[in-house]
Amino acid sequence: MKQKNLSQVDPAVFHLCKEEEDRQARTLTLIASENHCSSAVRETMASFLTDKYAEGYPGRRYYGGCEVGDEVERLARNRAKELFGAEAANVQPHSGTQANLAAYLAVMNAGDPLLGMALNAGGHLSHGFARNHTGMLFRAEHYGLDDETGLINYDEVQAKAESLRPKVLVGGGSSYPRLIDWERLRKIAHGVGGLLMADIAHPAGLIAGKVIPSPVGVADLVTMTTHKTLRGPRGGMILCGKDLIKKVNSSVFPGGQGGPFLHAIAAKAVAFGEALRPEFQDYARQVVVNAKALGDALLGLGYELVTGGTDTHLLTVDLRPKGISGKEAEARCLELGLVINKNLIPKDPRPAMETSGLRLGTPALTTRGFKEEEVREVAELLDRAISGKDREAVRARVRELAEAHPLP
């Protein structure tokens, strides 16, 4: 087959890819779950590995010609274990949601009790939400946050665990800005005869970069996405002890997936290799420094923050002092190139499609080289965008900042 590039083969898709690149380049991403992976990760995602079937695991495949695939998967696994100090890793899950379902089904049966953080408290759909398969398969109940502090109320978790006796207690979420007491959650889970699963989809990069405490070795199962703070390709991963890896492996394949995405596994290996370098720890540290700077600047501008601040890469902003909904604030920012998302706050009086809050994160800005001073300026731009002041000046300055910080 003669090599032709995408622009010749399919101009329509080529232009869409280019448009997305331009959109990312000329705007500032403050979505906490997004990041910009390296060009090495992108290049690997576009490699010939995408063509290869490799059902099974290294050394035990259902297809011939998997020698290279075996090497790729072994390399990714070994780097994952080194990066997180884990005994065992499964690098095949196609996404965080797939990783979670596979991890649950490694240790639970349909109908078993599951306890996780409520969606409106910052939990994830895959923690037993009624319309997610995890909510349909398991007898799921949820814990919330303390109304006053916005923090996990461990006494409530304990009480719910004692009455439900979950087989799996899941900790972690999509918009929780504070550290989680993994030891306490483990005690609660084990105290009722269950297991602890830590879903570190969001802070995985901060844990790999050693800036916040790790649940590896504390939780029985650790699941994550590889594309958020960890800055790899879109995908998932499960870590566990040697005692559980056989069950985890058969739950991922043949339990929940067919052929692994070898191109994505290779790109995970590249991202883990990048995360093992000292520069990654500088990046992870700066993500948190930037989030704190963003939070302090917003407090100074009269906003409130759920829990009063952050220990991680994300903040939940309470917009009620400004009298504007999350939906409206999101739209005003988006129009000027500040890409953010609306978010529920604890006991939000508005519905989920409107909300009274915003979720902001600093991974993508940090990857583009933003430091505290520029992040403080971003807080001012957000404030001016939300209040509708000097719209054209804000738009121009956002563009200027974006152009001064190219995508990797």
Ligand X SMILES: Cc1ncc(COP(=O)(O)O)c(C=O)c1O
Does position 33 interact with ligand X (CB under 6 A)? The reply is: yes
Q: In whole angstroms, what is the distance from residue 306 CA to residue 123 CA? A: 15
The smaller minimum CB distance to ligand X, of residues 216 and 398, is found at 216
Q: Which of residues 119-148 bind ligand X (CB under 6 A)?
A: 124, 126
Stretch that binds ligand X, among 92-100, 183-191, 265-273, 309-317 (CB under 6 A): 92-100
Plot region of 322 (φ>0 → left; ψ -120 to 50 → alpha; else → beta):
alpha
Annotated catalytic residue: which of 73, 199, 318, 383?
A: 199
Stretch that binds ligand X, among 74-82, 148-156, 167-175, 303-311 (CB under 6 A): 167-175
Among 27, 92, 97, 134, binds ligand X (CB under 6 A): 97
> Cα–Cα distances in Å, from 232 out to 34, 42, 176?
11, 9, 21
Pick the stretch among 10-18, 60-68, 196-204, 353-361 that binds ligand X (CB under 6 A). Answer: 196-204
Q: Measure the CA–CA gap between 211 and 312, rounded to whole angstroms.
A: 9
Pairing of strands 314-318, 88-90: unpaired
Give the CA dihedral 345, 347, 350, 355, nearest 10 degrees: 10
Nearest residue (beta carbon) to ligand X: 96
- Closest separation in Å from C-beta 33 to ligand X: 5
Is 238 a residue that touches ligand X (CB under 6 A)?
no
Annotated catalytic, 53? yes
Q: Which stretch binds ligand X (CB under 6 A): 76-84, 96-104, 243-251, 320-328?
A: 96-104
Among 35, 132, 174, 310, binds ligand X (CB under 6 A): 174
**At 110, which amino acid appears?**
A
Of 143, 150, 147, whose CA–CA distance to 169 is shortest?
143
Residue 302 burial (CB count, 10 A): 9
User: Which lies closer to ligand X via its Cβ, residue 107 or residue 401?
Assistant: 107
> Residue 99 carries which side chain, given as an amino acid letter?
A
176 Cβ neighbours under 8 A, 6+ residues apart: 117, 121, 122, 152, 202
Residue in 34, 42, 53, 376 annotated catalytic: 53
Residues facing 168 on adjacent strands: 114, 195
**Contact characters 342-381, ligand X, x per CB under 6 A:** ----------------------------------------
In the beta sheet, which residues pair with residue 170? 197
- Cβ proximity to ligand X: between 66 and 248 the closer is 248
The CA-atom distances, in angstroms, between 142 and each of 191, 224, 344, 368 are 18, 20, 16, 37
Separation of alpha carbons 232 and 267, rounded Å: 7
Q: Kindly tell me which of 33 and 366 has the beta carbon lying closer to ligand X.
A: 33
The active-site residue out of 234, 320, 327, 350 is 234
Identify which of residues 137 and 386 has a Cβ nearer to ligand X in the complex.
137
Mapped onto helix, strand or coil, the DSSP state of residue 170 is strand
User: CB of residue 227 vs ligand X: minimum separation in angstroms?
Assistant: 7
Contact between 281 and ligand X (CB under 6 A)? no
- Residues in contact with ligand X by CB under 6 A are 33, 95-97, 100, 124, 126, 172-174, 199, 201-202, 225, 236
